[in-house]
Every structure is written in C-alpha cells, then in structure tokens.
Amino acid sequence: MEKSVDPPVTVLVTRRPRPGKEQAFEDYLAGITQAALQHQGHMGTNIFRPSKPGGNYRIIFKFDRRSNLERWEGSAERAEWRAIAEQVSEPRQVETISGLEAWFTLPDCAINVHPPKYKMALVVWMGVFSLVTLLSSLLGPLMSAWPKLLQTIVLTALVVVCLTYAVMPLLTRLFSGWLYAGKDQK
C-alpha cells in the first residue's frame, strides 16, 4: 500500500468486564497487550480503567499503518484473544480513527465524540507554535552549522514526537471543557 492510503491508525475499544470476571478481564488485558506489542507496526497500548467498579474500560491501540492493523485483526492470535474477551466481557464498541481525531481522545468520553475541526486545528496550532518556538530557541544555536534540510528534519521529527506523546494529551485535557462543550462525554 502507498503511504498516503495506508495511514497510521488508532483503535479505541470500549469493554466492560462481566460481573465476577474482573480478574479474568485484567488477565486478558495483560495478555492481549503483550501479544499486540509483538506484532509488526504496533506502537503501543493505553488502558484507561473505570473510575468506578463495573464501569467501562477504554483500550487504545496505535498502529503505524492501517495495513499492519488489518494484519493484526486478521491473525489467528488476535482471533484467540477475541474469543477470550467475549467470555470475560460484554460486547465491545470499536472505533478506528486516523488524522487529527486521534490526538483528541479523552479516556472518559463516549466513543465517536470529537471536537469540531476548527477547535482541533486551533489547539494543534497552539502546540506546534509552542514547540517550534521552544525547540528552535533551544536547538537553533546547536544546529546552526548544519544544513537547513537536516535542521528541518530534526526539528519537525522532535515536534511530532513531542506533540503525539506529551503536548497533545496535555492540551486535550487542559482545553477539554472548551473542546467538548455541548457534547455528551459519558
């Protein structure tokens, strides 16, 4: 697949353990997380446990390419884990997203709840502007002798990594009241 039609994807899964199967569900989560980590293109899993007993778990899987997600979803190992999940939890809700929406997922929001694109664009701009300004100030003197292309490659790589793993989760939480104003988050 060509990269433009094979984007990175995030899979949001919502599951609730069956009553009395909470420990078996936790064992399932540990097992599937370890199995997914071994799969090509898997970029990590986040598990958000419910704040109250009997609540929903939100499991977020990230893959570097949609094709790698499809291989994982079609694998025999994934089918075995899915069978276990069906025994220890209620039916799942699944959403697969790519693009800006992947940066705007809160653990306690209902699935399919995303802010308007203009709000997402403004928050992303704030993150990019802040990081480019900070990193340029800090790294500019160290990289001034480097070719401009290499400076740009390093700076943009650092911006994307910082946005994905630190800045966007922080800004999403910080601005959640504004981003999700008027939307049902439960």
Q: How far apart are CA 99 and CA 10, in angstroms?
A: 9
Structure tokens at 126: 């704030």
Domains of the chain, earliest start first: 3-97 (3.30.70.100), 117-179 (no CATH)
Q: Which of 2, 13, 3, 8 is nearest to 63 (CA)?
A: 8
pTM above 0.75, yes or no: no
- For the chain, how many residues are written? 186
Strands (E) in 69-170, as ranges, are 93-97
pLDDT in tens, the chain (186 residues): 444 577 788 888 889 999 999 999 999 999 999 998 898 988 888 888 887 888 888 888 888 888 999 999 999 999 999 999 999 999 888 877 665 555 555 544 544 456 787 888 898 899 999 999 999 999 999 999 999 999 999 999 999 888 877 888 788 778 877 876 765 444
Query: CB under 8 Å to 135, separation ≥6 — which residues?
Result: 155, 158, 159, 162
Assess contact for 103 and 165: CB atoms under 8 A. no
Structure tokens at 95: 């959403």
Spatial strand order of the sheet with 9-15 comes to: 42-48, 57-63, 9-15, 93-97
Q: How far apart are CA 40 and CA 168, in angstroms?
A: 25
| Identity at 73, one-letter amino acid code | E
Rg (CA), the chain: 19
Assess contact for 15 and 86: CB atoms under 8 A. no
